[in-house]
Amino acid sequence: MTAVATKRPAGDADERTQLVGWLDVQRSIVRVKCEGLSEADAHRKVLPTSPLMTVAGLVAHLRWNEYSWFQLNLAGVPDTGQTPWTDDGHVDAEMFVDDVPLAQLLDEYDEECARSNALVATLPLDALEQGTYRDDNPGSTRFILCHLIEETARHLGHLDIIRELLDGRTGYTK
């Protein structure tokens, strides 16, 4: 068995290195789960009760989660219409990507992850969200990193299942 795309952080690394490192590991597995998929399979709806749960839809969802948590929430960048969400739109609008090539979605995800890491590098782990947050309880950089590790890993589980249903491929190594 070969290693995942990004090496795990050292066991004795500092907290920031651990958090960013583990998030980068999860992010890198997203691309591994997409390797070798045709466009048709990347957009194939294999779960009748969840038609937005496609490989492409999940990649887009992960990209916009990165943007939402790090740029909108943590940095406080205002949404000036660049996101797929609208007040009267579908709650999962970011997953409507039937006409977007998987390679483009993966590149956009990688670019967003790089922006997230660049932002995190400038902030203390205790820095609080500057944008919209829930319940008058802003999250810290640390909280958001932990949440994105969980969020990305959870959706990797979905990608595992969808990939296995598509072509039988299992695992997360190259």
pLDDT single digits (tens) 122-135: 999 999 999 976 67
* CATH number of the domain bearing residue 48: 1.20.120.450
pLDDT(38) > 90? yes
Q: What's the pLDDT band for 136 if we cut at 50, 70, 90?
A: confident
Residue 2: per-residue pLDDT: 39
pLDDT digits (tens, 9 = 90+) for 56-68: 999 999 999 999 9
Mean pLDDT of 110-116: 97
The count of structural domains within the chain is 1
Residue 60 domain-assigned? Answer: yes
Domain around 99: 16-77+90-167
Give mean pLDDT, residues 147-171: 94
Asked if the structure places residue 137 within a domain, the reply is: yes
> What is the pTM for the complete model shown?
0.93
Residue 47 in domain: yes
Tokens matching residue 24: 């980068």
In a domain, 39, yes or no: yes
In this prediction, residue 84 has a pLDDT band, given cuts at 50, 70 and 90, of confident
